[in-house]
Amino acid sequence: MCGICGGVTKESLDIDKMVLSIKHRGPDFQDIYKDGLVYLAHARLSILDLSADANQPMVSRDNQYILVYNGEIYNFQSIKRTLQTLGHSFKTTSDTEVILEGFIEWGVGLFNKLNGMFAFSIYDRKNQKIYIVRDSFGIKPLYYYLNGETLIFASEIKSILASNLVPREMSYQGLYEYMHFSTTVGETTFYNGIKKLKSGEYIEYSLYSGVLETISYRLLCDVTPSTHSLDEAIYNIRDLFEKSVKRQLVSDVPVGIFLSGGIDSTAITAIASKYYRGKLKTFSAGFDFDRGFNELPNARFISKKFNTDHYEFHIKGDDSISVLETLNHYFDQPFADAANIPLYLMSQELKGKHKVILQGDGGDELFAGYNHYFRVKNERLFRLFSYAVTSFAPLIPKSSKYYRMLRSMYAITQKDRALVPARFYSQEMLTESSLNLFKDEYRERLSLINPFIRSLELHSSFKDKNIDLLQELLYTDMNLILPDQYLEKVDRATMANSLEVRVPFLDNDLARYAISLPSKYKVRGKEKKYLLKRAFSGIVPDKILYGKKRGFGVPFSYWLRSSMKDFMRDEIISSNIYTNKVSLMIDEHILGKRDHGFVLWKILNLSMWLNKNRDIKL
């Protein structure tokens, strides 16, 4: 796991500053390659083949190809054996060299052969082309900027900005998406001109013509529906999951697991303990802001059952302001999923002590683990219920719990099916609009923007597939919320502390098979994750398998009316982009008249970013 950056330009590119800005992603070794107008740089976190021979940028034997790579390829050994039969030889045991030799053999045909998480760039000196690639789930980040004959790319936006060649101008598309999704989605960022390479895409850039093509090499929804019976699906999911965990244990440094005590992390622990050489380490945390829910007893139970070397962290939220400011730096743009705080704090505890962790991300999106999947599966019933509930909305107590319910009801009643998935994550509700929070000059520009472009784009790609609404919601989440919110959260919060997190549920073979299965296997009656629970029966103890799902709650609403209230007010007022409506919301929230925590948390993170980036053009 590493950080990469580079570019093609006639200008003076500060490549040293670029790679230094992402040194936290790869503290073990940094190096730079330069050839004419081309710059490539790498910051290495050594995981496979710890020798200097595996350092990057890596150059092919004939000096035609140069590679910088961030990630892990889990099937690199089988690809390597194939390449050896085709006459390729290797001087390292790294997956980096396998990518390099694989590209020499198959060119862009290599990308679909890779099973892993990755973002990399290959420079073809002979044909004067740059290739930039991102994995099919968007587990690893990749950003780029193109202006005339200048192309710059990097693992993080801060590295692109460090080039000193990119203007700092805020994207209103990014701002409006953020107010709905708590992050930007698709290719959008908060900076005009800087784009995210979407999952499953690669760039081909010609130095001769200056033409850049963005090409999709794998679509998550482009899977032939399975005709397997439920029993066949149960057997295959169990088998594919076991193979995935076994593959992701390959490492030349110790591997551990974030053990939450839930179904997904317990299943990973159960299989990993079976195949790991040595005693497996598991890590759990208790927080002083856990709202009475403590995962430690369940984690201890699982650790004892599978005989792991277990560690517990007891983390306090006393310094939440300082942590929030730190995260504002590492995320490069506003990000309002507060779960990045405990994830960062856990990773901080492991900094310098551990490098590789397995975690359960992806299980809920593949196997329908969230409440809104159950609601959509029972769409007709909830539509009737929603009409009754929304009629009495003014009489409902003004708590965050009930407002979340109303937003959910509002999503289900959308007449345009394309907007149903989008509205589940949007914080607009009924007649309320985030536009009314901004001063006139900002509101006018935002009113011309559609924040649901990515959702509509995805809906358009699904509409000819004859799928039900639940399957469409699952597809949308896998292409939007999973890469742009959940995986981005994991990458930034953990890589800030030089920690690699692997996600076995997003193994290509397992995930694509799960995607092909009908939604009726995933939600049955009131039971979410039905298929996964059946597949893990006998692997995961029943008390975990059928225990109540409880997501971890960060009490930001409480912080905003207590320890953070003065900080919040100062930051929001200083940003100077909001109407008096926001001041009234702050007062109502602090006095306990109404819980505006979710919206105020977004506004606070946005305000902090604006105050930190005073030089950005609005």
Domain ranges across the chain: 2-171+189-216, 219-549, 555-618
Looking at residue 66, what is its pLDDT? 98
Assess contact for 245 and 271: CB atoms under 8 A: yes
My answer on whether omega of the bond before 57 falls inside 30° of 0, hence cis, is yes
- The residues facing 283 across adjacent strands are 258, 311
Residue with tokens 């809104």: 372
State the alpha helices, DSSP H only, in 289-436.
296-306, 320-331, 340-350, 363-367, 371-377, 379-391, 400-412, 419-425
Identify the CATH homologous superfamily for domain 219-549: HUPs (3.40.50.620)
The encoded tokens of residue 502 equal 């692997």
Close Cβ partners of 218 (under 8 Å, ≥ 6 residues apart): 111, 112, 136, 200
Over the stretch 575-597, which tens digit does the pLDDT of each residue have? 999 999 999 999 999 999 988 89
Looking at residue 328, what is its pLDDT? 95
pLDDT of residue 330 exceeding 90, the answer is yes
- DSSP strands (E only) in 324-413: 356-358
What letter does residue 166 receive in the DSSP assignment? S
Neighbours of 124 (CB within 10 A): 18
More confident residue, 373 or 203: 203
pLDDT of residue 292 exceeding 80, the answer is no
Q: pTM value? A: 0.94
Residue with tokens 């705080």: 341
pLDDT of residue 537 exceeding 80, the answer is yes
The encoded tokens of residue 258 equal 């974030």
Given strand 29-35, what is the order of strands in its sheet?
A: 29-35, 38-44, 2-8, 150-154, 143-147, 194-196
Nearest Cα neighbor of 110 from 87, 79, 136 is 79
Looking at residue 183, what is its pLDDT? 97
Instruction: Lowest mean pLDDT of 111-115, 313-317, 443-447, 607-611, name the range.
Output: 313-317
Sign of dihedral through CA atoms 136, 139, 143, 149? negative
Mean pLDDT over all residues of the chain? 91
Nearest Cα neighbor of 142 from 70, 48, 190, 214 is 70
pLDDT of residue 544 exceeding 70, the answer is yes
Share of the chain above pLDDT 70, in %: 93
Torsion angle defined by CA atoms of residues 132, 135, 140 and 145, in that order, rounded to the nearest 10 degrees: 30
Per-residue confidence at 399, pLDDT binned at 50, 70, 90? low
Looking at residue 424, what is its pLDDT? 80
Per-residue confidence at 469, pLDDT binned at 50, 70, 90? confident
Looking at residue 275, what is its pLDDT? 95
Q: How far apart are CA 5 and CA 156, in angstroms?
A: 8
Select the CATH number that applies to the domain covering 2-171+189-216 from these four: 3.40.1360.10, 3.10.20.30, 2.40.50.140, 3.60.20.10: 3.60.20.10
**In whole angstroms, what separates CA 504 from the centre of its chain?**
14
Looking at residue 408, what is its pLDDT? 73
Angle between helix axes 379-391 and 400-412 (nearest 10 degrees) is 120
DSSP helix/strand/coil, 305: helix
Looking at residue 296, what is its pLDDT? 86
Looking at residue 464, what is its pLDDT? 75
What letter does residue 183 receive in the DSSP assignment? S
Looking at residue 315, what is its pLDDT? 78
Looking at residue 521, what is its pLDDT? 96
Q: How far apart are CA 302 and CA 262, in angstroms?
A: 10
Nearest Cα neighbor of 79 from 95, 66, 59 is 95
pLDDT of residue 550 exceeding 90, the answer is no
Looking at residue 377, what is its pLDDT? 78
pLDDT of residue 441 exceeding 70, the answer is yes
Taking the alpha carbons at both ends of the chain, their separation in whole angstroms is: 35
